[in-house]
Amino acid sequence: MDWTWFHRLGSPPHVYRIAGRLTPWFAWPAALLLAAGLYGGLVLAPPDYQQGDGFRIIYVHAPSAWLSLMIYSTMAISAGIGLIWRMKVAHAVAASCAGVGAWFTLVSLVTGMLWGKPMWGTYWVWDPRLTAQLILLFLYLGYMGLRQAFDDPQRADRASAVLAVVGVVNVPIIRYSVEWWNSIHQAPSVMKMERPSMPVDMLVPLLVMLLAFTLCFVAILLVRLRGEVLARERTASWVREVIAQ
Amino acid sequence: MREFLAMGGYAAFVWPAYAVTALAFLLSIWQARRAHRLALEAARRRLAMEEGEQS
């Protein structure tokens, strides 16, 4: 088997160029799917029989919550790869994840509060899932703070990677909190083994939004990664070529 | 249209939720592009300085 593609993933100039070339292929589909998902979720989907139009918060809440966990997993896996194989590019990916992940964790918390107020009667309860999601936000913030605390980028990479890998235990806790504990949070209606418990015209916009958010994250990650790779390799000769272009 | 904006009485919760999400998208995109631009500028300055030293 030809492994050159794998070795090239570790090469900063290659990653910089590929990331730049791939970005529009994720950004444009993401924009189109976002528009379609918004129209489907806000206009086409019928009001919920219990929650009326209030349930439409799901179309931004569930995809943000999904992203918050997906981004953290991506960050922890890249950080782990960086630790084990001392791969600079893997550390750069992990560092690029944190900011976006923190934003979407915050969005999942705020949209959840705005959904909780009319449905549960309160913005916040110290429920297992809500508490674990708040801890996820602190993990992201701690990761970013830790990176800032080091002047030497390699030490920052290693220390923050350990935090990212250890913190990954929180991901399954959030995912299964609703099943393990008696939670106020409603059970998942899409991400489960049986058939989703949702009518099709409500479900399709949600799936479209999940895909749109994911593609959008990849596009943002690619732009972040270019900046991150460039910042680490300021003196390398390939940078000269990149700038000349 | 007015009926759509009213969101069946949930307008005060639905629209802020969508606004916060839109804000997070715009901020993440802006931050990513800004970080890339700043890295390019820093690299350019550094290379210009190196060339200045050589000549």
Of A241, A215, A214, A224, the closest CA to residue A92 belongs to A224
Please check whether residue A224 is in contact with residue A237, taking contact to mean a CB–CB distance below 8 angstroms.
no
B45 touches A: beta carbon within 8 Å = no
CA distance B15 to chain A (A): 9
Contact criterion met (CB < 8 Å) for A100 and B10: no
CB contact under 8 A, B27 and A224: no
**Contact flag B21-A57 (C-beta cutoff 8 Å):** no
CA distance A202 to B16: 21
**Closest approach of B18 to chain A, Cα-based (Å):** 7
- Classify B10 as helix, strand or coil: coil
- Please, how many CA atoms are within 13 Å of residue A128, restricted to the half-sphere of its CB? 17
Per-residue pLDDT tens for A6-56? 777 778 888 999 999 999 999 999 999 999 999 999 999 999 988 999 999
**What are the tens digits of pLDDT across the range A71-112?**
999 999 999 999 999 889 999 999 999 999 999 999 999 999
d(CA A131, CA A27): 33
Name chain A contacts of B3, Cβ cutoff 8 Å: none
State residue A100's pLDDT score.
97
Q: Is A122 helix (H, G, I), strand (E, B) or coil?
A: coil
Query: How far apart are the C-alpha atoms of A136 and A14, rounded to whole Å?
Result: 33
What is the predicted pLDDT for the residue at A234?
Answer: 65
Kindly report the CA angle at A35 between A32 and A41, in degrees rounded to 5?
135
Rounded CA separation A209/A193 (Å):
20
Question: Who's near A162: CB < 8 A, 6+ residues apart?
Answer: A79, A83
Do A103 and B28 lie within an 8 Å CB cutoff?
A: yes
CA atoms within 13 Å, Cβ hemisphere of A29: 14
Rounded CA-CA distance A242/A106 in Å is 35
Cβ-defined contact of A111 to B28 (cutoff 8 Å): no
CB contact under 8 A, A60 and B35: no
Q: Is B7 helix (H, G, I), strand (E, B) or coil?
A: helix
B25 touching chain A per CB within 8 A = yes
Tell me the per-residue pLDDT of B26-49, one tens digit each, with 9 for 90 and over: 999 999 999 999 999 988 888 888
Nearest CA-CA distance, residue B55 and chain A, Å: 17
pTM of the model: 0.92
pLDDT exceeds cutoff 70 at A194: no
| DSSP at A137 | H
User: For residue B37, which residues of chain A lie inside 8 Å, CB to CB?
Assistant: 227
Give the whole-angstrom CA distance, residue A19 versus residue A220: 10
Enter the ipTM: 0.91
> How far A224 CA sits from the closest chain B CA (Å)?
5
- CB–CB of B42 and A224 under 8 A? no
B9 touches chain A (CB under 8 A): yes
| Chain B residues touching A110 at Cβ < 8 A | 17, 20
- Residue B12 or A193, more confident: B12
Dihedral angle at the C-alpha atoms of B8, B11, B12, B13, nearest 10 degrees? 90
Selecting from B14, B36, B37 the residue whose C-beta is nearest the C-beta of A54 gives B14
Q: How confident is the model at residue B19 (pLDDT cuts 50, 70, 90)?
A: very high
